[in-house]
Structure 1
Amino acid sequence: MFFSKKIKRAVISLVALISLVSCGATFSAPVKADGANYQTDQVKLNVKSAIAIDSNSGQVLYAKNADKTLPIASMTKLMTVYLTLNAIKNQKLAWDQKVKPTASIVKVANNAEYSNVPLKMGHSYTIKQLYQATLIESANGAAMLLGQTIAGSQKAFIDQMRSQVKKWGIKDAKIYTACGLPNGNVGKDAYPGVNKNAENSMSAKDMAIVGQNLIQDFPEVLDTTKLAHLDFKDQGHTTKMANFNWMLKGLSQYDQTYPVDGLKTGTTDAAGACFIGTVNHAGARLITVVMGARHKDGTDPARFMQTKKLMNYVFTKYRPVTFNAGSQMAGVKNIKVTDGDNATTNLGLKEKTTIWDPADGKTLVAKLNKQTIEAPITKGQVVGNYQFKSGNEKIVSLSNPNGMNVKAKALAANGKVNFFVRIWRMLFGGR
Structure 2
Amino acid sequence: MKKKMVKQSLTVLMISFIAMMPFQQTAYGKSTLEINADAAILVEAGTGKIVYSKHEDEPLGIASMTKMMTEYLVLEAIEDGKIKWDQTYKVSDKVFQLANAPGLSNVPLRAGEEYTVRELYDAMVIKSGNGAAIALSEVVAGSEGEFVKRMNAKAKELGFENSQFVNSSGLSNYDMLGLFPKGTDVNDENMVSAEDMATLAYYLIHDFPEVLKTSSLSTKVFRPGTSEELVMKNTNGLLKGKTYHYKGADGLKTGTTPFAGSTFTGTAKRNGVRYISVILDAKDEYGQPSSAERFIQTRELLDFGFNEYKTVSYSLDSIEEKKKHTITVPNGKEQEVAIKIDKPLSIRLTKQEENKVKTKLSLDKKKVNEDGSLQAPIKKGDKIGELVIDTQEDKDYIFDKDSSSYKLNVYAAESVKKASWLVRSARSIQDFFGNLF
Give the structure-2-normalised TM-score.
0.75
1:354 aligns with 2:349: no
> What is the correspondence of 1:57-136 to structure 2 with a 5 Å cutoff?
57-136=47-126
Equivalent residue letter for 1:196: V
Q: Deviations over 1:127-177 (max 9, x none)?
A: 111111111101111011111101111111111111212221113321111
Q: SS state of the match for residue 239, structure 2?
A: coil
How much has 1:77 moved relative to structure 2?
0.8
Measure how far apart 1:387 and its partner are. Answer: 4.6
Partner residue in 2 for 1:181: 171
Deviation at 1:269, TM superposition (A): 1.6
Aligned partners of 1:328, 1:80: CA distance in 2, in Å?
A: 43
Q: Which residue of 2 aligns with 1:251?
A: 242
Secondary structure at the aligned position of 1:42 is classed as coil
CA distance in 1, matches of 2:410, 2:133: 46
Q: Deviations over 1:100-138 (max 9, x none)?
A: 121111111111221110111111111111111111101
The separation in 1 between residues aligned to 2:335 and 2:260, in whole angstroms, is 58
1:363 corresponds to which of 323, 339, 355: 355
The residue type paired with residue 190 of structure 1 is F
Hey, what's the Cα distance between the residues in 1 that align with 2:336 and 2:103? 67
Match of 2:282 among 293, 301, 315: 293
Are the aligned partners of 1:332 and 1:368 in contact in 2 as well (CA < 8 Å)? no
> What are the within-5 Å matches in structure 2 for residues 135-284 of structure 1?
135-187=125-177, 189-233=179-223, 235-255=226-246, 258-284=247-273
Task: Determine if the alignment matches structure 1 residue 410 to structure 2 residue 402.
Answer: no
User: Any stretches of 5+ residues in structure 1 without a counterpart?
Assistant: 1-37, 422-427
Q: After TM superposition, list the pairs within 5 Å mapping 1:44-55 onto structure 2.
A: 44-55=34-45
Aligned counterpart, 1:5:
none
Quick one: distance in 1 between partners of 2:232 and 2:306? 31
2:375 is matched with which residue? none
* Change over 3 Å in CA distance of 1:127–1:60 after alignment to 2: same
Structure 1: which amino acid aligns with 2:35?
Answer: L
- % identical aligned pairs: 31
- SS of the aligned residue for 2:295 comes to helix
Distance 1:336 1:200, change over 3 A: farther
- Distance, in Å, in 2 between the alignment partners of 1:68 and 1:348 is 45
8 Å contact kept, 2:145–2:183: no
Assess if the C-alpha contact under 8 Å between 1:117 and 1:139 holds in 2.
Answer: yes
C-alpha separation in 2, matches of 1:369 and 1:305: 45
Deviation at 1:275, TM superposition (A): 0.9
Asked if structure 2 preserves the Cα contact closer than 8 Å seen for 1:57 and 1:353, the reply is no
When structure 1 is superposed on structure 2, of 403-412 and 203-212 the one drifting more is 403-412
Larger-gyration structure (1/2): 2
Checking the alignment, whether the CA contact within 8 Å between 1:388 and 1:395 is kept in structure 2 is no
Q: Please report the TM-score for the alignment, with normalisation by the length of structure 1.
A: 0.76
How does 1:374-385 map onto structure 2 within 5 Å?
A: 374-375=366-367, 379=381
Distance 1:403 1:45, change over 3 A: farther
Partner of 1:307: 298
Cα 1:193–1:128 shift into 2, 3 Å = closer
| Change over 3 Å in CA distance of 1:233–1:352 after alignment to 2 | farther
Post-superposition Cα deviations, 1:390-413, rounded to whole Å, max 9, x if no partner, equal xx6445532357744534213129
Give the Cα–Cα distance (whole angstroms) in 2 for the partners of residues 47 and 141 of structure 1: 29
For 1:317, the aligned partner's letter is: E
Which position in structure 1 is the counterpart of 2:3?
none
Q: Secondary structure at the match of 1:302?
A: helix
Q: Tell me if structure 1 keeps the 8 A contact 2:172–2:187.
A: yes
Q: 1:59 to 1:299 in 2, by over 3 A?
A: closer
Q: Deviations over 1:22-57 (max 9, x none)?
A: xxxxxxxxxxxxxxxx96853111112111122121
Q: Distance in 1 between matches of 2:157 and 2:343?
A: 23
**2:312 is the alignment partner of 1:321:** yes
Distance change (3 Å), C-alpha of 1:107 and 1:400: same
State the AA in 2 paired with 1:158.
V
How many aligned positions are there? 378
Corresponding residue number in structure 2 for 1:23: none
Q: Aligned letter for 2:71? A: V
| Separation in structure 2 between the aligned mates of residue 50 and residue 305 of structure 1, nearest angstrom | 13
| Structure 1 equivalent of residue 318 of structure 2 | 330
